[in-house]
């Protein structure tokens, strides 16, 4: 029983991480209750995407992560302060739902881990309604003749690897309504992404531009990585975790293989870099640039792979998850009482907002630790 034994060997570290997460987040949960944080100021205090001074508003794609993190911590600890902050986030995000034109491929990031988590944990009917509304909007983005879910709201033919993480909202909608159209749309998109977004060597394409009539790929684009043809590490992490999630929801073996393939590329690129994820696996060595968020997201995917793969396949994935998490904890985490964030050194895009705390870095770091601590609740 490799998985259970390895977890037992690392129990002291896992327990220490859970205790540190709870100590810090139980304070910040109260102090940042009315915020929708994205990053922090120079003193490490949360910003607020509702603040007009930041130029951002409630529709920013990461606004579900703070409340989502609160649900993860509530599920683990039962502390009502986490629940109150998660509920407040959900209320604030009604400003996003009120503006239909602001909905896009990111509705799972926005609501599935927030309202969707609320419904799954508490049975709240209003939350179920919010998540169903988003699922319907997401399904409506499906291009019938092209066979893909459209990204963003400008050009109609763009797809991005990130969308893999929003498909669980569609799988969930099918399971609770009994209407299989949601699942079929999600699987059609995942089938497309396996072919067009995963290269034969396991590296990942961030953006494809498709012909909107027949779906063929006209060109690939740079997106948030270094260049066209490079490998943006967060895009790779969306593939590792996104495909294993599609496997968990559908049982389709090809999705498991796609997740493994992307994982192999990610693990190699990380292992040859001291287990700290660079922002792009195909970029010049200088300037040195990391993206901790990619490591945290991938760790979640690797843990899920280790859980479902046969006994002798498990070690590589679980050990790699621990290597990444431990290296990042040592080099990038901030456990001080005076700051609001935990995982530093996130990077929004190659050359843009480099080495800053990003809210979903904290979210996925906590999700990974809680998985290792035995949490059965999968928010996706």
- Contact set with ligand GLY (CB under 6 A): 162, 224, 234
User: Which residue, 174 or 237, has its beta carbon nearer to ligand GLY?
Assistant: 237
Q: Which is nearer to ligand GLY, 187 or 279 (CB)?
A: 279
Q: How far is the CB of 367 from ligand GLY (least distance, A)?
A: 15
User: Measured from the CB of residue 84, what is the shortest distance to ligand GLY in angstroms?
Assistant: 28
In a 13 Å sphere around the CA of 84, the CA atoms on its Cβ side amount to 12
CB of 47: closest distance to ligand GLY in angstroms? 16
The C-alpha angle with vertex 157 and arms to 153 and 161, in degrees rounded to 5, equals: 85
Residue 89 vs 224, nearer CB to ligand GLY: 224
Nearer to ligand GLY, 296 or 309 (CB): 296
What is the full DSSP assignment across 179-229? Answer: -THHHHHHHHHHHHHHHHTB-TTS-B-SEEEE-TTT--EEEEE-TTSSSTT
Bridge partners of residue 209, in order along the sequence: 158, 219
Cα(72)–Cα(367) distance, integer angstroms: 7
Write down the least CB distance from residue 162 to ligand GLY, Å: 4
Which residue number, 141 or 234, has a Cβ lying nearer to ligand GLY? 234
Q: Of all residues in this chain, which one has the CB nearest to ligand GLY in the complex?
A: 162
Q: Where are the beta strands (DSSP E) in the chain?
A: 142-143, 148-149, 158-160, 207-210, 217-221
Nearer to ligand GLY, 75 or 367 (CB): 367
Closest CA to 157 of 225, 109, 207: 207
CA distance 215 to 208: 10
- Quote the Cα angle for 79-80-82, to 5°: 80
- Per the structure block, which two tokens stand in for 216? 């063929």
Of 87 and 162, nearer to ligand GLY (C-beta) is: 162
Report, in Å, the least distance between residue 13 CB and ligand GLY: 28
Q: Which of 228, 220, 103 is nearest to 157 (CA)?
A: 220
User: Quick check: helix, strand or coil at residue 142?
Assistant: strand
CB of 26 to ligand GLY, least distance (A): 28
Smallest distance, ligand GLY to C-beta of residue 238, A: 7
């Amino acid at each position: 029983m490799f998985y259970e034994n390895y977890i037992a060997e690392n129990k002291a570290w896992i327990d220490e991480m859970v205790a540190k997460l709870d100590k810090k987040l139980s304070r910040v949960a109260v102090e940042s209750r009315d915020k929708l944080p994205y990053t922090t100021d120079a003193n490490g205090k949360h910003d607020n995407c509702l603040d007009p001074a930041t130029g951002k508003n409630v529709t920013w794609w990461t606004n579900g992560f703070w409340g989502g993190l609160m649900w993860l911590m509530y599920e683990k600890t039962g502390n009502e302060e986490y629940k109150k902050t998660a509920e407040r986030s959900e209320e604030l995000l009604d400003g996003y739902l009120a503006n239909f034109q602001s909905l896009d491929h990111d509705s799972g990031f926005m609501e599935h881990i927030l309202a969707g988590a609320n419904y799954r944990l508490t049975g709240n009917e209003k939350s179920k309604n919010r998540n169903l509304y988003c699922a319907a909007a997401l399904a409506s983005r499906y291009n019938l003749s092209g066979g893909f879910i459209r990204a963003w709201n400008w050009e109609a033919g763009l797809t991005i690897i990130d969308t893999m993480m929003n498909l669980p909202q569609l799988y969930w909608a099918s399971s609770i309504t009994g209407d299989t159209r949601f699942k079929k749309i999600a699987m059609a998109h995942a089938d497309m992404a396996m072919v067009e977004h995963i290269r034969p060597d396991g590296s990942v394409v961030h953006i494809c531009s498709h012909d909107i009539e027949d779906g063929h790929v006209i060109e690939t684009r740079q997106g948030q990585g270094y260049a066209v043809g490079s490998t943006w590490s967060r895009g790779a992490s969306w593939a590792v975790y996104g495909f294993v999630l599609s496997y968990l929801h559908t049982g389709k073996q090809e999705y498991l293989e796609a997740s493994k393939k992307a994982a192999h590329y990610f693990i190699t690129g990380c292992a040859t870099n001291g287990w700290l994820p660079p922002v792009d696996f195909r970029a010049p060595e200088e300037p040195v640039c990391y993206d901790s968020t990619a490591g945290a997201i991938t760790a979640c995917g690797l843990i899920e792979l280790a859980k479902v793969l046969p006994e002798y396949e498990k070690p590589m994935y679980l050990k790699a998850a621990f290597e990444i998490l431990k290296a990042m904890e040592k080099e990038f985490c901030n456990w001080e009482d005076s700051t609001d964030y935990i995982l530093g050194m996130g990077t929004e895009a190659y050359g843009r907002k480099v080495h800053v705390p990003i809210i979903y870095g904290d979210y996925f770091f906590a999700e990974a630790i809680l998985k290792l601590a035995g949490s059965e609740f999968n928010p996706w």
